[in-house]
Amino acid sequence: MTERIFTVESADDPRIAEFRDIRERDLTGRQNRFIAEGTVVLRMLAQAHAAGRGFSAEKILLLRNRLEGTTEILSRFPKDVPVYIADADILDGIVGFNMHRGVLALGRREQATEAALLDTLPERALVLVGCGISNHDNAGSMFRNAAAFKADAILLDETCCDPLYRKALRVSVGSVLSTPYHRGGDALGLLSGLAKRGFAISTLSPRGETDIRRIPASDRMALVVGTEGKGLPEAVLSRFRSARIPQSEGLDSLNVATATGIALFAISSAMARI
């Protein structure tokens, strides 16, 4: 492996230009490239690459003293993926701050179409749909919840933030790399695609008609969540069955990340009983 390891001695080295000042300019949305941070996310990127999930690594940047501890993970990447190492002062100068855990990778994602993703779902499937999710912490938490409760896919409309943003990816603990997803299109279009494929769709709202624990289970189910504050658009709420999470009076709503976890648990549990 030593033949693909290169030492970086200057923060201005053009070979690692994509890692420079990543706090100020995240790579999300630029040719589907993104920054993966930390050993857990690096390991999941390697797994996603090997599993053919549409993810690959272009290059890896490590703090010199992290090389030995990541050897096993690095061996899972193709031999043509270069690994750059740097001392702490150089790496901090490249990245722009020192809270990067000393493990970074430049990844790339090839996104499949919405139809291609939906057509690969199993006969029994649970899908999470996000509308207008603009907070990166919430987006990352939604992916982590989806992975925890074995959702088969996530659909995000065009108004949602990109889950490959560095912070969202980190909060998800790499689940963005393991849970199939599509981002793009309008909410009604995404939901129509699910309805055509036999999904029972439930929208989540504090004013939902049905207790989430009493939603009838079926083999194909979709849960739709919206942004905090405005919630889901009326056009979505009026068209599909609405559900609520019972909570104390006087509380407006739960954080969307918390609500998603509770609702996915309820739905996945109901599906397991049929």
Looking at the DSSP bridge assignments, the partners of residue 182 are 155
Regarding pTM above 0.85, the answer is yes
Count helices and strands in the chain by DSSP H and E runs:
9, 12
- Residue 29, pLDDT > 70, answer no
Share of the chain above pLDDT 70, in %: 95
For 176-211, the three-class secondary structure string (H helix, E strand, C coil) is HHCCCEEECCCHHHHHHHHHHCCCEEEEECCCCCEE
Assess whether pLDDT exceeds 80 at residue 250: no
Q: Which of 86-100, 164-178, 217-231 has the lowest mean pLDDT?
A: 86-100
What's the mean pLDDT when you consider all of the chain? Answer: 92
Domains of the chain: 2-109 (3.30.1330.30), 114-272 (3.40.1280.10)
Stretch 174-199: mean pLDDT:
96
